[in-house]
Structure 1
């Protein structure tokens, strides 16, 4: 149990010490008349003594009772812990606790230093109010001009800082509790269909780009993953591919091979026969280099140099121009792969696993409209299967033959076409 100490008077006066002129029967200490008189003292859960000053003895006693009750209930928080500044806690405690790779550390730190520290960096973390938390989120758009998904991403980082502070018992509750995060704005993806991908393959001006476009459409790899793909990651017999690294670029380091950003990115993909045959034919014609920076890689430049992200994007842009199709980004081939899986009836968890998304919510947010289309397709299939002869929707005219074919067969044919 804690106890209350009188700072203004000695607890063990020496013989002959004069009596305090203001308080009868007591001997004044050196602190007499300076600051608050009563000091509450108690041990924290780890046995370390905690003190606080109060104006009256009653206030000090109430503080001890409050803290002892908090210890008994497991809700105790060190009153002094919340004095740490937002910047210090974010950079020295929160950031090292994230367990992320170096490139992500740079990204997280950059966001904190650009958007949080200028506003709250020198403030004690316990001083931030909910009203200020809501106002800060609005600054991301009004002051810092962030748009799209970025306000939500930066807010997630900062909300995570205060959430960890609650878990660490630095503050009792996050100022963001009850404050809605910025709306996550994500554009609905409209990936190219199989016919459009075939156009791109036909228009590509080098075997390298033809193979990369088709293989990416069949596997959904990220740009860094396909550029960093090594032949020894392909199991041609089992028709699988291990995705465990990517080729990345940093201004200070240039291009280098790095681990994937999340554990979910590490995955083994099943390969279609088409993908295996494509790769086998390509490596037979262009065997991987046995030395140099592109050693063991499936795809490199003609002189063995690594393929940069900008080089790949330019190749696709030029291909789109030659094919006279809509300009596409490389990532849209990944979206194409996802759209084929969804159209084929794969459930969201399988799509998540194939794409290497961290959680299924990311998959659902990105492709929600495609899942909705797949749901409508399911309804059509069921309606067609259960329709009575002559009912609308049970069959449709075959324009080629002038006859009528079951709706379910038409849909099955469409799916076979989508799957290549």
Structure 2
């Protein structure tokens, strides 16, 4: 049983033993407050929900570091979470004691962060803050998670989200604009829906050009500029066999004859026979290819040694610049023009193409490597060409008024 002692200073000290038998004490200005606290504490101990009122003095930053080191996530997940914590979460909460973080403070932080960051970034920051504090609750450092009930801005789709590239534009416009060394890579991604890591981690032993299939069994993982091979895909459903279309088979066959395999039989390597890095590929290969294909900005010839680069900014205002070579003009548009098709949009386009052509959703789910068909429908399918006309035709034989005849 706990007891209350009046101190020489005139305050009242509540004394009790915690669940481990350690003597604890806390001082209050009145006996009533001390008695109320003592009753709540003894009830919590009896129910197994006791939290030491002094435990929450631990700074958030120190506990967050312990929490991060205890996780057994994938390398990419660990790197991403560490970056978000370091950049957005710790600058605000690192020195704040856990028990000093309340609901209103968290809501205010989320609102302020929303004014300068995208909803997706805010959601990730909030997710990590909540995860750390949820762990602190389980460790009995704080009684409740102050993140509960906090309103986070909704993620709204933008016009630039989920671009869809038709199969005709892929074959006739984009592929001819991609450098020879990487043309088969883009063809494989666009013709099979493989993710970036699944494409760059692919080895020739997993490709059967005779049967026209590719087996996804490993992926390449890039963390802090270092690329390693992971001997299993993103999920259990990610291990799959995908049919390869004829145009991709032709380019892969030509690729094998011209470009040697990597040290471990990798299909795609850089010019030094090393692993492909996503950021460098995007800047040096992907975006310039979009410009040459006419899918990002515009480059036109004005005369001898005179090229015009044009692009629109986020407000729709056109900007132009002149250069002496086409290469310089293309590089400038690739650097300055916002948005544009992403490499991952090839995957979106592939799934949309299959669904719009009537391929059953469960088959699309299988080749995409999704655990649930809802993922296929919600994330990777978009409006397809001819949709409006097909909907009109579905009701063509159902007049709203009876036939007078």
How high is the TM-score relative to the length of structure 2? 0.70
Q: Counterparts of 1:240 and 1:133 in 2: how far apart (Å)?
A: 48
Alignment RMSD: 3.9
Separation (CA, whole Å) in 2 of partners of 1:79 and 1:50: 13
Change in 2 beyond 3 A, CA 1:88/1:285 = same
Quickly say closer, same or farther: Cα 1:340–1:312, change in 2 above 3 A: same
Equivalent residue for 1:334, pick from 347, 368, 374 = 347
Is structure 2 residue 67 aligned with structure 1 residue 85?
Answer: no
Structure 1: gaps of 5 or more residues: 9-31, 393-420
Classify 1:296/1:378 alpha carbon distance in 2 versus 1 (closer, same or farther; 3 Å). Answer: same
Distance 1:50 1:159 in 2: 31
**Secondary structure of 2:246's match?**
helix
CA drift of 1:88 comes to 1.6
Shift of 1:73: 3.7
Which whole-Å CA distance do the structure 2 matches of 1:361 and 1:97 have between them? 32
C-alpha distance in 2, partners of 1:338/1:366? Answer: 10
- Determine which of 275, 295, 303 is the counterpart of 1:306: 275
What is the rounded CA distance, in whole Å, between the counterparts of 2:387 and 2:99 in structure 1? Answer: 48
Report the counterpart of residue 123 of structure 2 in structure 1: 152
Question: Which deviates further from its counterpart, 116-125 or 241-250?
Answer: 241-250
Query: Which whole-Å deviations, capped at 9, do the CAs of 1:40-88 have from their partners, x for residues lacking one?
Result: 21331xx342512345666555444323322444433332332222112
Q: Distance in 2 between matches of 1:225 and 1:35?
A: 71
> How far has the Cα of 1:181 moved from its partner?
1.1
Residue equivalent to 2:97: 124
Query: What's 1:225 paired with?
Result: 198
Q: Does the 8 Å contact 1:264/1:353 carry over to 2?
A: no
State the partner residue of 1:271. Answer: 243
If you compute each CA radius of gyration, which structure gives the higher value, 1 or 2? 1
Is this contact kept in 2: 1:201–1:214, CA < 8 A? no
| 1:40 counterpart residue number | 15
1:231 to partner: Cα distance: 1.8
Partner of 1:197: 170
Aligned pairs for 1:132-211 within 5 A? 132-142=105-115, 145-147=116-118, 149-187=120-158, 188-200=161-173, 203-204=176-177, 206-211=179-184
After TM superposition, give the deviation of residue 197 of structure 1 in Å: 0.5
Distance change (3 Å), C-alpha of 1:131 and 1:65 = closer
Q: Is the contact between residue 246 and residue 260 of structure 1 (CA under 8 Å) also seen in structure 2?
A: no
Q: Quick check: 1:43–1:50 contact (8 Å CA) kept in 2? A: yes
Q: How far is 1:102 from its partner? A: 3.3
SS at match of 2:342: coil
Matched position secondary structure for 1:51: strand
Which position in structure 1 is the counterpart of 2:286?
Answer: 316
Q: Aligned to 2:267, what secondary structure does the other structure show? A: coil
1:195-220 deviation per Cα after TM superposition (whole angstroms, max 9, x unaligned): 11012355246543332222111222
Q: Which moved more, 1:332-341 or 1:228-237?
A: 228-237
Q: Structure 2 unaligned runs (5+)? A: 297-339, 401-405
Q: Distance in 1 between matches of 2:271 and 2:156?
A: 40
Counterpart residue number, 1:239:
213
- Is residue 80 of structure 2 the alignment partner of residue 107 of structure 1? yes
Q: Residue 270 and residue 203 in structure 1: after superposition, are their counterparts in 2 closer, same or farther (change >3 A)?
A: closer
Question: Does the 8 A contact of 1:294 with 1:306 survive in 2?
Answer: no
Using the TM superposition, give the Cα deviation of residue 287 of structure 1 relative to its aligned residue in structure 2, in angstroms. Answer: 7.0
Contact preservation (8 Å) 2:137, 2:145: yes
The match for 2:50 is: 76
Describe the shift of the 1:53–1:320 C-alpha distance in structure 2 as closer, same or farther (beyond 3 A).
closer
